[in-house]
Structure 1
């Protein structure tokens, strides 16, 4: 019997190193405490989120930190527009605003939808960038959880 493991894609692969460097420089100029490694990981989570937005038929919401990376990418308008056009054939518009919690479930639910969609698309989800989501209680055994309350202690 052969065991198969789902191949999860590192979402940083969605954006070229040159564009990642521009976004990283912008984010780190605004938030000097962010390391290069953290910025690179955040850019990946933002790229996965944008891919989820482009493919979802429901509204999604980024975490506040992922939104910071999106804002930094938007500051490089030509790169952002070209990336969206090449990847999705359309622009993913940033539309901040209020969505009725009765209709959409509220911000936390919209972020959970985002994480679920990112996971369904096969991208790695970094729980550090989605702090209010209870990732340890998810049903995805491949979510790289190490502190799940459901895992017995060794």
Structure 2
């Protein structure tokens, strides 16, 4: 069977298996996540970073995906080399530079999906059963 050009890929394919394992282990330990949750966060974070890096636009990660970016940046040699290799520039992180409301996250998710990546909606606050504003990352109970 031939793969379709529109087939989506996982963000974990953007780094070596060894680096992905180190990032996931660090993310799990640093943020108190179960290993499987840390893997999902890292997969989404890598897809997010690649989408942002290729577009050249500043995008915001969700609160649940942001730890992936922090984790990768703390592996500074690998992160710097990855950015230079993929985008010929370093992608800086400017905390709180954009809002994380549902509309912003829907836009980011759409861009990640359009870039060809699998999206884990549960990490972006964009699931259809979201009850705004309390469960989308922008309400007082989040």
Conserved? CA contact 1:56–1:117, under 8 Å: no
TM-score normalised by structure 2 residue count? 0.77
CA distance, structure 2, for counterparts of residue 83 and residue 5 of structure 1: 25
* Residue aligned with 2:64, SS: helix
Partner of 1:90, secondary structure, is: coil
Deviation at 1:90, TM superposition (A): 1.4
Show the counterpart of 1:107. 100
2:13 paired residue number:
13
CA root-mean-square deviation:
2.2
Please give the per-residue CA displacement for 1:87-135, whole angstroms capped at 9, x wherever unaligned: 2221111111344xxxxxx4223322211110101100011211x2145
Distance 1:88 1:133, change over 3 A: same
Structure 2 CA distance for partners of 1:15 and 1:136, relative to 1, 3 Å: farther
User: Is 1:123 matched with 2:91?
Assistant: no
Measure how far apart 1:64 and its partner are. Answer: 0.9
User: Does the aligned pair in 1 maintain the 2:84–2:90 contact within 8 Å?
Assistant: yes
Match of residue 28 from structure 2 = 28
Rg larger in structure: 1
Contiguous gaps of at least 5 residues in structure 2: 131-142
The CA deviation at 1:14 is: 0.9
CA contact (8 A) 1:9 1:122 kept: yes
After TM superposition, give the deviation of residue 48 of structure 1 in Å.
Answer: 0.6
1:22-54: per-residue Cα shift (whole Å, max 9, x none)?
A: 21121122233x222222221110011001111
- In the alignment, is residue 45 of structure 1 matched against residue 39 of structure 2? no
Gaps of 5+ in 1: 100-105, 138-154
1:115/1:135 CA distance change after superposition, 3 Å:
farther
Map of 1:93 onto structure 2: 92
Q: Label 1:94 to 1:8 Cα distance change in 2 as closer, same or farther (>3 A).
A: same
Which residue number in structure 1 is paired with residue 133 of structure 2?
none
Match of 1:133 in 2: 126
